[in-house]
Amino acid sequence: MAFMFCLYAGMFTTLATRTAQEYHVAVVGFLAAGLILTSSATNALIYSPDILMEIAAAGFILLSITNV
């Protein structure tokens, strides 16, 4: 979760300073890593018998959707 917050902050900074031309490959790589991390967290939490873990998995699904 902290990775995604840092990713969104970095993307905002990149777009705000208009340096997307220099960092476009890094941004795509970090987004790909973020998608893998959120998908992995969803997979680990979705099959838990605890309802709170399933609610967290639903949040990670929404976070995965925003990455795409």
CA separation for the pair 34, 67 (Å, rounded): 7
Question: 60 exposed, middle or buried (CB, 10 Å; 0-12, 13-18, 19+)?
Answer: buried
**Could you tell me if residue 18 is left (phi over 0), alpha (psi between -120 and 50 degrees) or otherwise beta?**
left
Residue 1 confidence (pLDDT): 64
pTM here is 0.70
Residue 64 confidence (pLDDT): 83
Mean of pLDDT values over 18-46: 86
Residue 38 confidence (pLDDT): 84
Residue 27 confidence (pLDDT): 84
Closest listed residue to residue 7, CA positions, set 19, 15, 49, 43: 15
Residue 29 confidence (pLDDT): 85
